[in-house]
A and B are shown apart, each in its own frame.
Chain A
Amino acid sequence: MKTIRKMLLTSASLLALAFFSVASVQVAMAEFDPKKPVDFVIMAGKGGGADKMARLMQSIIEKHGLASKPFVPINKPGGSGAEALVHMNNTSGAAKDHTVMVTLNSFYTTPLRQPNLGIDISTFTPVGRMAEDTFLLWVNVDSGIMNVDDFVAAAKAAGDSWIMAGTGKGQEDQLLTDFLNRTYGLNMTYVPYKGGGRVAKELAGNNANSTVNNPSEQLGFYEAGNTRALAAFTGNRLELFPNAPTFGELGNEFIYYMQRSVVGPPGMSAEAAAYYQELFSKVFQTEEWQEYKKSKSLYGDFLTGQALMDYWMNERTIHEAMLKQIGEI
């Protein structure tokens, strides 16, 4: 009983503290503070890399009491992120200052592929780039494939019955699949699923022959000895996967990262933007986030404001060229 009473007392005093600190801030300066729960839109399905990361950010915000109102995660995975982008574009009124979204690279590719959605990402509000995720080529251990040479031989022999599972159409995973098809003369069939968690499961269950998952999505199966990383789409070998060479070492350099950023809707007020930029830079600096970055072999520093916008514009140009090459646009 003692623990319970202590707990109740702690929570009551925490509540009181939170109340007073909010009140005092409001009195001291007319800064922005959310007036209702913040919609935390996730541009991907449940269980994928973006989803896990968003939920971790939410938990960090809650745990350290960084925000006075809760962040409520909402998955909008439809149409390679089109659903989420349209949702952000259509926010109005108070929602403009109470919605932020976790994005990935479909932030560039989906508006490029579907100009009829009327999305212009340069109008969105940059909040913060939290990390850059890495990609590896994965196979199931049962396949007996030990390296990229084995993989190429097996995929060549299988022709178009070789299944590469990935998330969404014309997105990161398909760009990498296309690189492999072009470079090694393969004809793999790309099958889109909702979310990287599901993709990882399809490989572990032998319903797909290979994937280009992020480490965070495959780590569980990798550690259990179900799947194997063959090579990394990075500049240097990843600490977690010392046996997986980079494609550069194999003579076919291909470096590709996935942004993990937080973005606000077009037309978010400057005060609100400053609030979220400050908030997410605090999240970035927490021990939990740094630990997560390390354990999931994530790269990248915190970027915000104009620097983040410049980064987006540069990435958009790169993706436009890639999509043109594979004939998606």
Chain B
Amino acid sequence: MEVLALLFDGFIVALEPLNFILIVVGVTVGLFIGAMPGLGSVNGVAILLPMTFLVPPTSAVIFLGAIYYGAMYGGAISSIMLGIPGASTAVATTFDGRPMARSGLADQALIAAATASFVGGTISVILFTMFAPPLAEVALRFGAPEEFALMLLAFATFIGLSGDDIPKTFFSILIGLVLSAVGLDIVSGEPRLIFFDIPGFFHGVNFLVLAIGIYGIGEILWTLETNKGEVEVSTLELTLKKFISGFFRLKNAISTMLMGSFLGFFVGILPAAGATPGSLMAYGVAKTMDKNPESFGKGNVKGVAAPEAANNSASTGSMLPMLTLGIPGSPTTAILLGGMVIWGLEPGPRLFTDQTEFVWGLIASLYAANLLALVINLAFIPVFIWVLRVPFTILAPVIFILCIVGGYAPTQDMHDVWLMLLFGVVGYLMRKLDYPMAPAVLAIVLGPLAETSLRQSLIIGKGSPQIFIDRPIAAAIMACAIILFILPLVKLISAKRKKSSSN
């Protein structure tokens, strides 16, 4: 086991005093960066990149890796406590995390998020250690047709067996797809769907604008209506006993966490995907696999565990194409990549053999960061819970301001803030009409990826969809997707038959 020896050496590097302190600082900073809406791991790593020139390259990347990991944990906090996705990777955590907090289970949701993050981080580090070279090969083989098949599968998990009203789910997905098509055509570069010639539409509709609008602003409106502005004070008390029983209640979610971890890692290693699609797909799969899919979106702990396991796992996964192929798997790793060039490390197929100390030091420190993030996060849970005791009259304006900042930060364009407010109102109305909103968010994230890969595949296949059948990996994924699409139909027919025979 040469790999284990290398990993052990890596741990020695990670536990050097300077590196260890950098991990602790990085995780703490990352936790807060992740929890601030609009400030995701991308910004955190970008802002702190210059600081790393003061330390050796290995320590520098360890520090940035710790921020990355901390931010993955932190994103869940504002998703659960405030109902605003703290980072793009934590959008799926809002779906069930917020309903849990509303029904007094905030502690349970936070424990689930932290634990699932830890499981995801652990599994991904193990997968990375054991299978990095063959997995890099898989990522390499994954072409446009395979990518499209995977996207289709993701959509299928949201429609098939979802338990929601299927026509309404479909409608929600279509709205997301239309919004994702706004901007410039991917292949020809022609502008399209530029409503009223407003230049702000040229950069497309940022999905965080949609997510913060629907979940943040929509949430405020919803609470205003249900409580009529009355002061809402939660009486949640956190005792050690409750804390421990919170862990035991996670027993049911173990398989969900494992699924999320594996799926997240795999999606993470594919270039161009990253942790956000990974977490959304994990949510969809968790819902599809569950015996009781109707409970999702209403506060099912598995709906928190799946995306949180997946986004941490994917963040390690996206290091793989960066280190082995020199292609970043996520926006954050793209910035890390820039840092590596100036540190004099050339990412690419030879990095693993030429720079073993660096690679394994990074992997080991990711693991150390994962463990520390869990401890720090759990220690802070009582502080987070305190947020719930703040009266709504104070909390609402704070949430509102955070939403505005979160909508402005990614593109720094006021156009997006207005758009976000509009989405907030539309989202609130759709919620009143009982439309599921998660599929729209999924569609706007995956839409551009699906469109690009579909069009590339069709150019390669001379316009014939045959290409999806001719390529074995694509065909297998495609078959799964189609089955998932058809299943609800079969279920519907068989249910009807049962009804008529019992009559």
A, B assembled together: yes
Binding site for B on A (CB under 8 A): 1, 3-4, 7, 10-11, 46-47, 51-52, 55-56, 58-60, 62-63, 70, 72-73, 75-76, 78-83, 86-87, 90, 110, 113-114, 116-117, 160-161, 163, 168-169, 189-194, 197-198, 200-202, 204-207, 219-221, 223-224, 226, 288, 292
Assuming A52-B338, A82-B184, A189-B460, is B141 touching A206 (CB within 8 A)? yes
Assuming A78-B186, A204-B325, is B47 touching A47 (CB within 8 A)? no
Q: Nearest Cβ distance between residue B63 and chain A, in whole angstroms?
A: 11
Can you name 15 A-B residue pairings with CB atoms under 8 Å? A10-B54, A46-B327, A47-B337, A70-B50, A78-B186, A78-B189, A79-B191, A87-B202, A116-B191, A190-B459, A192-B459, A194-B186, A200-B326, A204-B140, A205-B141
* Across the A-B interface, the 4 shortest Cβ-Cβ residue pairs: A220-B348, A79-B189, A55-B338, A224-B349
Complex: how many Å from CA A62 to CA B337? 15
Interface SS of B by simple majority: helix
Residues 330-376 of B contacting A (Cβ, < 8 Å): 331, 334-335, 337-339, 341-342, 346-350
Give chain B's interface residue range (CB within 8 Å of chain A). 35 or more
Q: Contact at B342–A56, with CB atoms within 8 Å?
A: yes
Q: Nearest Cβ distance between residue A1 and chain B, in whole angstroms?
A: 7
Q: Nearest chain-A residue to B137 (Cβ)?
A: A205
**Interface status of B18 (Cβ within 8 A of chain A):** yes
Chain B contacts for A51, CB-based, 8 A: 334
Q: Contact at B342–A80, with CB atoms within 8 Å?
A: no
Give the contacting residue for A55; candidates B17, B189, B337; CB below 8 A: B337
Binding site for A on B (CB under 8 A): 17-18, 21, 46-47, 49-51, 53-55, 139-144, 183-191, 199, 202-204, 271-272, 321, 325-328, 331, 334-335, 337-339, 341-342, 346-350, 452, 456, 459-460, 462
Give the contacting residue for B334; candidates A1, A47, A198, A201; CB below 8 A: A47
Assuming A4-B21, A78-B186, A78-B189, is B341 touching A52 (CB within 8 A)? yes
Complex: how many Å from CA A7 to CA B328? 30
Assuming A59-B341, A191-B456, A205-B140, is B186 touching A79 (CB within 8 A)? yes
Assuming A83-B183, A224-B349, is B50 touching A63 (CB within 8 A)? yes
Q: Nearest chain-B residue to A64 (Cβ)?
A: B53
Q: Contact at A56–B349, with CB atoms within 8 Å?
A: no
Q: Contact at B348–A219, with CB atoms within 8 Å?
A: yes
Assuming A78-B189, A221-B349, is B50 touching A11 (CB within 8 A)? no
Q: Nearest Cβ distance between residue B226 and chain A, in whole angstroms?
A: 40
Chain B contacts for A189, CB-based, 8 A: 459-460, 462
Give the contacting residue for B190; candidates A114, A161, A207, A288; CB below 8 A: A114
Chain B contacts for A160, CB-based, 8 A: 462
Complex: how many Å from CA A75 to CA B272? 13
Chain B contacts for A207, CB-based, 8 A: 141, 143-144
Q: Nearest Cβ distance between residue B343 and chain A, in whole angstroms?
A: 9
Q: Contact at A62–B50, with CB atoms within 8 Å?
A: yes
Complex: how many Å from CA A60 to CA B342? 7
In the complex, which of the residues A63, A117, A200, A220 has the most CB atoms of chain B within 10 Å of its own CB atom?
A220
With A46-B327, A47-B326, A114-B190 already in contact, 14 other A-B pairs whose C-beta atoms are closer than 8 Å: A11-B51, A47-B327, A70-B50, A73-B46, A79-B185, A79-B188, A82-B191, A110-B189, A169-B188, A191-B459, A198-B327, A205-B140, A207-B141, A288-B342
Complex: how many Å from CA A288 to CA B189? 35
Chain A contacts for B55, CB-based, 8 A: 7
Chain A contacts for B140, CB-based, 8 A: 201, 204-205
Chain A contacts for B141, CB-based, 8 A: 205-207
Q: Nearest Cβ distance between residue A239 and chain B, in whole angstroms?
A: 17
Q: Nearest chain-B residue to A207 (Cβ)?
A: B143
Give the contacting residue for B348; candidates A70, A76, A224; CB below 8 A: A224
Assuming A90-B202, A223-B348, is B142 touching A205 (CB within 8 A)? yes
Give the contacting residue for A223; candidates B18, B189, B338, B349; CB below 8 A: B349
Chain B contacts for A110, CB-based, 8 A: 189
Q: Contact at A86–B202, with CB atoms within 8 Å?
A: yes
Q: Contact at A56–B341, with CB atoms within 8 Å?
A: yes
